[in-house]
Structure 1
Amino acid sequence: MGSRKILSIVLVIIAYLVGTGLSYLFFSASASSKSVTSPVTAPKNASGQTMFDPSLPKTQACPLNGAKYSKQQEAWWEKHAPLGIMIENHEDSRPQSGLSGADIIYEAVAEGGITRFLAMYYCQDAGIVGPVRSARTYFVDFVSEYGSFPLYVHVGGANQPGPADALGQISQYGWDGYNDLNQFSIGFPVFWRDYTRLGHPTSTEHTMYSSLDKLWDYAAKERKLTNVDEDGKSWDEDFTPYTFKEDAPSSQRPSSQTADVQFWSGYNDYFVSWKYDPASNSYKRFIGGSPQIDKDNNKQLTAKSVVVLSMVEMNANDGYENNLHLLYRNEGSGKATIFMDGKRITGTWEKDSRTSRTIIKDGSGTPIKFNRGLIWFQILPTDGVLAVK
Structure 2
Amino acid sequence: MLSLKLNNRIKGVIVGLLVLAVALFAFAFRGFLLGPGAGDQEFVETDRVSRHPLSGALLDEAIELPRVYGVMVENHFESWPQSGLEEAVLVVEAPVEGRIPRLLAFYSEEQEVEKIGPVRSARPYYLDWNGELDAVYAHVGGSPDALELLQVDDTIDINEFSNEWFFWRDEARSAPHNVYTSMDLLEQALDRFVSRFGAQENGWESWKFKDDVPPVVGSRQSEASAGENGNEEKEKEKRGVTIDFAGSPYLIDWKYQMEANVYRRFQDGELHEMENGALIEANNVVVMETDMEILDAVGRRHVRTTGEGDALLFQDGRVITATWKKTTRSVRLRFYERESGEEIAMNAGKTWIEVVPSLEGDVTVEEEEQE
Q: Which TM bucket (shorter chain)? A: 0.7 to 0.9
SS in 2 for 1:217: helix
SS in 2 for 1:218: helix
Contact 1:85 1:132 in 2 (8 A): yes
Alpha-carbon separation, structure 1, partners of 2:307 and 2:215:
37
Q: 2:273 aligns with which of 270, 276, 293?
A: 293
**Corresponding position of 1:247:** 212
Contact 1:80 1:216 in 2 (8 A): no
2:318 partner letter: K
Contact 2:311 2:322 in 1 (8 A): yes
**Corresponding position of 2:150:** 170
**Corresponding position of 2:307:** 332
**Corresponding position of 2:71:** 85
**Corresponding position of 1:308:** 287
Which blocks of at least 5 consecutive residues in structure 2 are unaligned?
Answer: 1-48, 223-235
SS in 2 for 1:323: coil
1:125 partner letter: E
Shift of 1:230: 2.7
1:268 partner letter: S
Shift of 1:314: 0.7
Contact 1:338 1:344 in 2 (8 A): yes
1:186 partner letter: N
Contact 1:242 1:370 in 2 (8 A): yes
Could you list the per-position Cα deviations for residues 275-316 of structure 1 after superposition, in whole angstroms to 9, with x for gaps in the alignment?
0001111000000110001224x1210110000010111112
Instruction: Classify 1:384/1:126 alpha carbon distance in 2 versus 1 (closer, same or farther; 3 Å).
Output: farther
Q: Which moved more, 1:250-259 or 1:204-213?
A: 250-259
Q: Please, what TM-score do these two structures have when normalized by structure 2? A: 0.75
**Corresponding position of 1:61:** 51
Contact 1:133 1:208 in 2 (8 A): yes
**Corresponding position of 1:180:** 157
Could you list the per-position Cα deviations for residues 170-193 of structure 1 after superposition, in whole angstroms to 9, with x for gaps in the alignment?
101144xxx1000011113x1110
> What percent of counterpart residues are identical?
34
Shift of 1:128: 1.0
SS in 2 for 1:276: strand
Shift of 1:223: 2.8
Do structure 1's residue 262 and structure 2's residue 244 form an aligned pair?
yes
Do structure 1's residue 367 and structure 2's residue 346 form an aligned pair?
no
Shift of 1:385: 1.7
Between Structure 1 and Structure 2, how many residues are aligned?
298
Shift of 1:61: 2.5
**Corresponding position of 1:154:** 139
Do structure 1's residue 386 and structure 2's residue 366 form an aligned pair?
no
Instruction: Classify 1:174/1:275 alpha carbon distance in 2 versus 1 (closer, same or farther; 3 Å).
Output: closer
**Corresponding position of 2:177:** 206
Which blocks of at least 5 consecutive residues in structure 1 are unaligned?
Answer: 1-58, 160-164, 197-201
**Corresponding position of 1:17:** none
Instruction: Classify 1:379/1:95 alpha carbon distance in 2 versus 1 (closer, same or farther; 3 Å).
Output: same
